[in-house]
Each structure stands twice: as C-alpha cells, then as structure tokens.
Structure 1
C-alpha cells in the first residue's frame, strides 16, 4: 500500500511538531512543579523564622505543649490537624505527609529543649496549580490537533508542484510529441525532474516509433512469402494428379503456413501491447488437436500416445493465435522430454491441462523454467531447443492475464495447467 507524498510530509511535520509540543508541555510541567516546591519552601522558611522570633519575644504566644509529640504544635492550617505519632521521629526541616488522605506540609524546628511543629495546608493553592497544569496539557492536545490540520495544509503547498507534474505525466501518452514544460515550475528540483522526464519521454517515443517501423517491416516481409506459399498450396490442391502421401504433405504445408501466419500475428500483437483485442470463442478440443498435429510423426516414432480428453463443445474466450503459440510450445516441450507413455490434454474447472509421462523437471530447475534461455532436462533434450519457448509462453500468459503453472516430478512427468482470465463469455459451451 502506497501513501501519497503529501501524506508522508504531513505525517512527518505532525509527528515532529507533536513530539516537540509534548516535550515542551512536560518540561513546563516539571519546571512549574519544581518552582512550586521552591516557592512553598521559601514561604515556609520565612514563616517559621518569623514565628520562632515572635515566640521567643513573647512566650505567651506559644501553643500548648503536646507530650505525645514532645513539642509544640502550631496549626497554620485552616482546620485543626492531628499529627500522627511518627512525625516526632522526623528530622528537622520541612516535610510533606499525608493525613487523612490530605497532603500537608510540616516544618520541624528546634525550640529550646523541645521542638516546634508548624502545620501548613497549601491544598487550595496546589489544586489551582493542578488546574493550570491540566489546562496546559489540554491546550497542548488542542495544539496537536491543530498541528495535524496545519501540517496537511502546508504539505499540500509543498508538494503541489510535484502533484502537478504527476498529473501532466499521467496525461501524456507514449509516442505523443507533447512534453512537460519545465518553465511552469519555480522549484528547482521539480523543474529538473521535468527536464529529466522529457529526455526520457523523447527516448521512449523514438524507441516506440522504431519498434512500430520494425514490426511493420517484419510483418510485410514475412507475410509476402507466406502468401506465396499459401497461394501455391491452393493451386496445387486443384491438381488431381497429386494424390496419396503427396497430397497429405501438401496439406501439412498449407496448415504450417496458416499456423505461421497466426504466429506472426500473435507475436506482432505482443510487440504492440495489444493484449485485450482480437479475442473470440475458441474450441478447446480443436485447439488441442491442432497443437498436436505437427508432432504426429515425432510421437509415432517414439510410440507416445497423444490424447485429447476435452468435451468437443467446450469453448473459452481467448486470442486464437496467442493460444496456439502457447499450446504449440507446451506440446513441443512435452514431446522433447517424453520418450514413452502418453501426452494428454484435459479441461476441468476452467483449467486446461497438458500432462506427459516424460523425464520430469528437478525441484531446483522448476522455478527457472520460464526464464529466457534457461534449459532443463537431459542433454539430448536441451540440444533440440533454444530455451525461449517457455519464456514466450510466460510472456503471452502475462500479456493476456492467463495463469500458467508447472508441476513436475523427476521420472514421473510434468503437468502444465493454464487458467484463462475470467470474461463474461468465457467457458461458454
């Protein structure tokens, strides 16, 4: 799943800003709490100093002596607080303790042979301080949400020219003379990217034009001799003196010329990326028999049986010449690697399968069989091929959206299965 550049920029800005806001809020909170404690300590020290001085100058102001606390307890809190017995063991200084779930401060100071316990209640002050801190944290959350919106808006300004360039590139069609105008962009990086794309687009357009010219020339040069062969076969077919094996050979030549013409058409369509065009219902049983026909002599010489177990009325929607190339290469591969047994076509659950009882393919070689110029199997079988048949099969299947799979086991044979792309008219009988 790809995210847009704008989303990534906004996410980065938002994350960095929110982290800074959180760090700032936590820092302010920590600093404020520390300052609060310092302020309370300063107030207590000033108050306890004044209190001791007043008690020394006028002992009548002293509170009653508390024998349990072994000292004087001065209640600076609004409500009287009963100190726990453990307070008398506290060292001199200021302490925070909990009494009845309430946080209070107790200042312990020496007074003659006894101690003076001064109680302070800053609860109201601390409550207001907490409210201020909570308001600060809530404000940080609001600013974080605002940051997300601002970051998304700002990222739109930053990547707007990249988005404009992407829309212009998308609008271009390969082979068009039009190009992107770098002068429309005031950002140096985007203008440089536009210039680089223009150079690449021009090279690709030139390449496409050369390919179109080449395929047009190839089409003309190949169709001309095939037309001559086809015409000659039709004329010879009218000659009654040609009989027996000679007429069979003539028919084979005519079928080979038709097959070659279909192969040329399919290869030219692949070169021109015309994948979705020229599709029609084709009879699977007829296609299988046509693919096996050129190999009849080779199969007979090896005593290998060719079987077509397909319903005669089974049709699929496909490009006939392209399918003929695929089946021809699969059959050729099966014939070269099968010395005995059978080669069998079948069709079930929307999948065309070709099984053989040949030598099989090793598990190490199986992932590479569709690679161009890769050859697997015995040395004699490799010598009769050039390693591009299955590569062409894979290219055609990818072009038309067909799924091709090979399952094989050494010594037991290979199964090639072909599932066609779903179409409204596919698998119509």
Structure 2
C-alpha cells in the first residue's frame, strides 16, 4: 500500500513538472520571439521539431495559421493537429497574437517510459516486501508451529518436559511451560482414574466369582423349592450382569496401553444369548420375534458388544407390557423394535445422557450412557424412532471400516 501511494505521488509529480516545464518553455519562446521582432520586424517564429510558432497581426493574411488556433483565447491549451498532440500558449501583445506550440509526442513517450520504470520498481519492491515479510513471518511463527506440533503429538504416557524443551524464556516459552504443566496434570489425573477403575474392577471380580460359584452350587440342589430356585436364578443373572459390567470397566481402563483386545464376534449369537438371558423380563402378553437375515462378524470386545445389545433388548422387554418385540439382524447392524409404551418426544435427545431416567423408568440412567460410550468407541451409530404409546425402534449400525485399535480409542 505504501509503495502504491508513493508511486502514485511520483507519477502525479512527474506529470505536473512536465506540464510546468512545457509552459515555461512556451512562454520563454514567445518572449524570445517578441524580443527578436522588436529588433527585426521580419524575424520568423521558431519552427523546430518540438516548438512551432505562429503570428497573427492586423492586415496580415492568416492562411498559414491552422484554423484551430484562431478560435483560441489567451492562455494554455491542449490541441491535436494532424493526429499530433500539442500544448499551445496564446499571448496577445501590442495588438498582435502569438501562438506557440509544443509537440508533446516526445514528452508523452518520456512519461510512458517513466511510468513503466515506476510500475516495474513498485512491483519489484512489492515482491521484495512480500518475500521479506514471508521470511520474517516464518521466523516469528516457527516457534508457534513447533509448539503446536509438540502439543498435537503429545500423549499422557510420554515425558512432559519435552514439550517446553528448547524454547527461550519469551512468551512462546512461557506458553510451552503452561502446556507442559497442563499435560502433566492431565497425565496424573488419567493415571488416577485408570488405576481406580482397574483396582475397583479387580477387587469386585473376586467376590463376584465367589457369588457365582455359590449360585451354581445352589442351582444343582434339587431339594430347593420353585420360589427359591427363581430367587437363586435372579441372583445369578444379576451377578452375571455385574461381572460383565466390571469387565467392561476394566477394558475401559486399558485405553492408554498398547494391548488391543479385539475379537471376531458373531452378532446373531450375541443377540440370541441376550434374548435368552433377559427373557425373564417378558410378560405373558409379550412375544419375541428374532430374525437373522445375515450373520455379520465384527471386530470388537465381546463383553462390550454384549452390553450394548443386552441394554437395547432389556429396555425393549421392560417397556413392552404387551405386544411384540422384533429383533432383526442385518448385514451391518441390527434393529430392535417394540410395540410398548414408547418415549416422549422431549426425552429422545436425553436418553443417552448419564443418569437420565425417562418417565416410567426404574433404572439408574447408566445403561444407555454406557451404550453411547461404547458406540462412540467403535464408531457405531444408534438411530432411535419412537412414538409415545405406540412403541420404539432402535437401529444399531456397525462401522463399515473398523477403527484402528478400537478398544483403545477414547469415547
């Protein structure tokens, strides 16, 4: 912008000076011719390649004077004769009129040449300025880009001191120290959370295994009454759910390790087991229709897949006091639909929120939030369509391209 303004100023100044010099030259030639005529009345006006003069006197023929000049008044004028531009000075003195013409071709050529040089110089200056500015910006931005690369590549498992290493003590260095301190705090927090989850899962699995063993022994006792057997079976089901939940928590705590726990899971088999496991939730007026149109095998931890499928089926069984629950397994997902109580329109967007319980729900609001976390972990999608009083349809779509180390991906 500065170079452009400077070039415009120089161009205007050059044009103004050129016009001023031509005017001074014209008046100087007129004065010189008047002076010569005062000494010699027969002196002829100048006639050179650049300057050409004419004199108009009383009683003298004006046939040699171009007619375009006769209508001009005193002063400076612009005129074109025979396609040649002229700058004309007209002076009246002693009853005589003097015309002095300056051929502007050479002056215009000089101005164009000057303009070309000026524009070229401006473009070169702009190019040099851009290059220098780009270089200076690179020098200024380089530390920020390096810091951004280090922060992007940083993980809680590496040494946090490497982020701030090599930076000076200026503002960028201070910012690097802040990032390093923040990453160190985040690493400590994730370590505490992971250790807590792992420790709790391990500590719970031991008593749960003992309970499961006692339940299996009691189920083999044929002397128990029917109600006692039902109660023991209920304890066994709840204990199995707890085992699956603690296993899932233990898997979640491994998200920062290098161990990839991925298995090939038969979705139809997982769905069939979930249906049989949760069949006790069905009322006598509710029927189940299971259709396996395909037998997809997906790469996932079986326990996590079982939690997702079991939660969807359990909710359908629980909220269908009468009617039909239809489960369809397709090539890239499954659909669980029921003719139960349905979900209110304002609650559909909240059902995956942690601790949210809908109308008529007796749960704690953790099941579907855990389903959401597992689905996000593997790149699966859930689509819910529900009408209150008519039923609900939940579609679980598996990712067509499994994520790299999906069991280790943060939800």
For residue 184 of structure 1, give the secondary structure of its aligned residue in structure 2.
coil
| Aligned match of 2:28 | 46
Q: 1:312 to 1:109 in 2, by over 3 A?
A: closer
Deviation at 1:180, TM superposition (A): 3.8
Q: Does the alignment pair 1:193 with 2:168?
A: no
- How do residues 49-128 of structure 1 correspond to structure 2 at under 5 angstroms? 49-60=31-42, 61-62=44-45, 63=54, 65=56, 85=68, 88-99=70-81, 101-113=83-95, 115-128=97-110
| Aligned match of 1:13 | none
| Aligned match of 1:315 | 297
Give, in whole Å, the separation in 2 of the partners of 1:255 and 1:73.
125
For residue 22 of structure 1, give the secondary structure of its aligned residue in structure 2.
helix
| Aligned match of 1:287 | 270
1:239-281 deviations in Å (ceiling 9; x for gaps)? 4556977667655644543343222222332344369932222
Larger radius of gyration: 2
Give, in whole Å, the separation in 1 of the partners of 2:345 and 2:101.
86
| Aligned match of 1:419 | 397
| Aligned match of 2:213 | 231
Q: Does the alignment pair 1:37 with 2:19?
A: yes
Unaligned runs of 5+ in 1: 1-18, 75-81
Work out whether residues 87 and 101 of structure 2, in 8 Å CA contact, stay in contact via their aligned partners in 1.
Answer: yes
1:118-156 deviations in Å (ceiling 9; x for gaps)? 221121222122122112212322333333333332223
- How do residues 102-251 of structure 1 correspond to structure 2 at under 5 angstroms? 102-113=84-95, 115-170=97-152, 172-180=154-162, 182=164, 184-239=166-221, 241=223, 250=232
For residue 95 of structure 1, give the secondary structure of its aligned residue in structure 2.
strand
Q: 1:260 to 1:386 in 2, by over 3 A?
A: closer
| Aligned match of 1:306 | 288
Give, in whole Å, the separation in 1 of the partners of 2:341 and 2:86.
92
Q: 1:57 to 1:213 in 2, by over 3 A?
A: same
Deviation at 1:52, TM superposition (A): 3.9
| Aligned match of 2:10 | 28
Deviation at 1:370, TM superposition (A): 2.9
Q: 1:52 to 1:279 in 2, by over 3 A?
A: farther
Deviation at 1:311, TM superposition (A): 3.4
For residue 51 of structure 1, give the secondary structure of its aligned residue in structure 2.
helix
1:333-361 deviations in Å (ceiling 9; x for gaps)? 43454444322222335232222234444
1:185-236 deviations in Å (ceiling 9; x for gaps)? 2241022112212321221122122113211220122101211122223333
RMSD of aligned Cα (Å): 3.5
Work out whether residues 283 and 322 of structure 2, in 8 Å CA contact, stay in contact via their aligned partners in 1.
Answer: no
| Aligned match of 2:385 | 407
| Aligned match of 1:3 | none
For residue 213 of structure 1, give the secondary structure of its aligned residue in structure 2.
helix
| Aligned match of 1:261 | 243
Work out whether residues 201 and 249 of structure 2, in 8 Å CA contact, stay in contact via their aligned partners in 1.
Answer: no
Give, in whole Å, the separation in 2 of the partners of 1:186 and 1:72.
88
> Which range moved further: 114-123 or 361-370?
361-370
For residue 283 of structure 2, give the secondary structure of its aligned residue in structure 1.
helix
Give, in whole Å, the separation in 2 of the partners of 1:42 and 1:187.
66
1:370-423 deviations in Å (ceiling 9; x for gaps)? 3334445xx3x24x2333433322222111211222233444433222222234
Q: 1:140 to 1:296 in 2, by over 3 A?
A: same
Structure 1 length-normalised TM: 0.77
Give, in whole Å, the separation in 1 of the partners of 2:343 and 2:36.
106
Structure 2 length-normalised TM: 0.80
Aligned residues: 391
Give, in whole Å, the separation in 2 of the partners of 1:257 and 1:273.
25
Q: 1:55 to 1:186 in 2, by over 3 A?
A: farther
Give, in whole Å, the separation in 1 of the partners of 2:82 and 2:311.
92
1:93-122 deviations in Å (ceiling 9; x for gaps)? 212234455432122222444543322112
Give, in whole Å, the separation in 2 of the partners of 1:41 and 1:175.
83
